[in-house]
Amino acid sequence: MRLTRSLLIVTSLQKKRDIKALNIIRKFKKELNWEPLSSFLIDEKVWAYAIDQKGYDPKKVFCHPDVLLNNSKAIIYYRGLCGLSLKAAKDYLGSIESLEEGKGKLGPEKALKIARIFNTFISSIIKNSTKWTIKNGYRTIIATLGITLDGVMRNNIGTLAEDRIRAMVIEWIGDNSLFLL
């Protein structure tokens, strides 16, 4: 079982979904309007630290709905910066797997909601971290992908066990002629 879990995690990380999402963000060239920062739930002191002081590209630190509307696969990058597993993100946003895979339909209201939630987390992380850097953010993304994959694997194991137990119960009922006619 551990061998299978290890193989799943390594194989999934080799797909480089985080790097593909970052490349989507890098290639987004449209001018983004970040004003007012409060409309995106971005802490002004955090913006000053990350953008003005550190010189990071704003779209690599904070989530803008226009980036998500351009390509929803970018969600995985921002979710990773937040350190949110897929399960935790679902608690805030509902099902987002199809959006992360680029298959779902994302409207402007949902994109803004996602951006605000992610920016709330990102602002809090940067504000409460000692000397946060974008490299630390990238490390968080990788860790989050691993956590998500582990959760998916555990859910799959649970589903397999549930199906096997269900089959055994049905077989036992049949063997003991307990079906109600």
Quickly state the pLDDT bin for 120 (edges 50, 70, 90): very high
Which pLDDT belongs to residue 110? 95
- Alpha-carbon distances of 129 from 49, 61, 119, 132, rounded to whole Å: 12, 14, 15, 6
35: tokens are: 């004003």
Which tens digit of pLDDT belongs to each residue from 33-46?
999 999 999 999 99
Specify the higher pLDDT residue, 13 or 145. 145
Lowest mean pLDDT among 31-35, 123-127, 162-166: 162-166
Specify the higher pLDDT residue, 94 or 31. 31
Quickly state the pLDDT bin for 146 (edges 50, 70, 90): low
Kindly report the number of other CB atoms within 10 A of residue 173's CB atom: 12
Beta carbons within 8 Å of 65's beta carbon, 6+ residues apart: 40, 108, 111, 112, 114, 115
Which pLDDT belongs to residue 1? 64
Average pLDDT for 25-33: 95
Which pLDDT belongs to residue 153? 62
Average pLDDT for 160-179: 73
Kindly report the number of other CB atoms within 10 A of residue 28's CB atom: 15
Average pLDDT for 16-43: 92
Average pLDDT for 80-104: 86
Cis before 65? omega within 30:
no
User: How far apart are the C-alpha atoms of 111 and 130, rounded to whole Å?
Assistant: 30
HSE-up (13 A, CA, CB side) for residue 39? 9
CB distance 95 to 34 below 8 Å: no
Average pLDDT for 42-68: 96
